[in-house]
Amino acid sequence: MAFRDIYRAKEPDWFNAPVPSYGPAGARLLIVGLAPGLKGANRTGRPFTGDFAGDLLYATLSHFGFCTGDYAASSRDGLQLIGCSITNAVRCVPPQNKPLPEEIKACRPFLKATLNQFDSVEAIIALGRIAHESILKAFDQKLAGFPFKHGAEHRFAGKNFTLFDSYHCSRYNTNTGVLTETMFQEIFRRARARIGEGNTLLAEPGEVLLPVAKIRAKTVRKESGLRKI
């Protein structure tokens, strides 16, 4: 709370509050991230909006037909999610962008309530180990039974969805090669297949996704015409 109070005073035009989930309640795909970024969602009020991770995530969602409109790093860019929603394991920005165990635990009831709202979900993508483990604990599953591994798929007894694990799409992970764009796209391709080939939102076969460097340049150009929020 004290950390957010500092930024409320320092940046009064920023959102600086618990960031709500984004997307339709009837989503068939749910993405669970780590926490709002200081200059990303904490500034704009929309998950993965305003920082590097959002450039890759929203471009990938667009490629696979999960959104309409153009992402321009602002909650006012007009982008709308289709059949997909995004939430975070931790609702508030943590100091140094690294949530403490007690913060993760404190936010778990909110994550559990969010997960229970999506009764139509068929695929959940966990972005990173903390998101993965938070989902398991929210569903009262043992961590040892479902170890985190990029590309892993998990099914829970009595649940109709598949949990897909992915490394987080952070700048650090992509810059160091821990996560490549191809690796990230493959997770979404498999999640899309799990949801069903009959859905008309699928991207056209052979469509090429722009490299993230070009996506970022395109985003920066669009940002220039938007008021920062």
Contact (CB, 8 A) for 127 and 166: yes
Please report the pLDDT score of residue 6 as a whole number. Answer: 87
Helix (H) / strand (E) containing 7: helix 2-10
Task: List per-block mean pLDDT (blocks of 10 residues) for the chain, which spans 229 residues.
Answer: 82 94 96 96 97 96 95 95 97 90 96 95 98 98 98 96 98 97 97 75 44 47 41
Q: CA–CA separation, 47 vs 127, rounded Å? A: 13
Q: Which residues touch 167 (CB under 8 Å, ≥6 apart)?
A: 127, 128, 150, 173, 178, 179, 183, 184
Name the pTM for this structure.
Answer: 0.88
Protein fold of 2-223? Uracil-DNA Glycosylase, subunit E (3.40.470)
Neighbouring-strand partners of residue 38: none
